[in-house]
A = this chain, B = another copy of it.
Amino acid sequence: MSAAALTLPDAEYLVELRFPAQASRMVLVRDVVRSAARLCGFDETATHDIVLAVGEACQNVILHAYEGRGDGPILLDILESPDRMILRVTDFGPAVAPAVLQPRDLGELRPGGLGTYFIQNVMDTTDFGRSPGGVGNVLQMSKKKDPST
């Protein structure tokens, strides 16, 4: 959760995307993440999980940071280091306290609140903070590559 964790890691950019925060754009964004995860050598389950995490992160931005207005942009940076894939989702919405993003208790059966839980369970690291420029929030996630591949 430290700001340091959000500075540029020792990794190569695969691609940076910018798209409007609209639910209808997510099919395309997920396709990009799927291709990139395969390129990093992840198997089908890990690829699915990474796509899910990015989908949930963008959904949070659409619903919460921009409250469904659909006019703000989302930035998605996809990076690869020798041992992991790093994905960074940036919005330009009001500051969110990291504590808000605690995953909920699964004990109770109710719709909603699963997004953050999925992200934290499928990724190896997740760090939430203000963007380096000070405008907007950044969720940086990473997943370790399978050493056997």
Complex CA distance for A130 and B49, rounded to whole angstroms:
41
Contact bitstring A1-40, B, C-beta under 8 A = 1, else 0: 0000000000011111111100001011101100110010
Complex CA distance for A85 and B116, rounded to whole angstroms:
35
Which residues in chain A, 34-67, are within 8 Å of chain B measured between CB atoms?
35-36, 39
Count of this chain's copies in the oligomeric assembly: 2
Q: Which of B18, B19, B25, B36 is the one whose CB lies under 8 Å from A28? A: B36
Assess whether B20 is in contact with A17, with CB atoms less than 8 Å apart.
no
Residues of chain B within 8 A (CB-CB) of A35 are 27-28, 31-32
A-to-B contact residues, CB < 8 Å: 12-20, 25, 27-29, 31-32, 35-36, 39
* Known pairs A15-B18, A15-B28, A27-B39 / 8 extra A-B pairs, C-beta < 8 Å: A15-B17, A16-B17, A16-B19, A28-B35, A28-B36, A28-B39, A31-B35, A32-B35
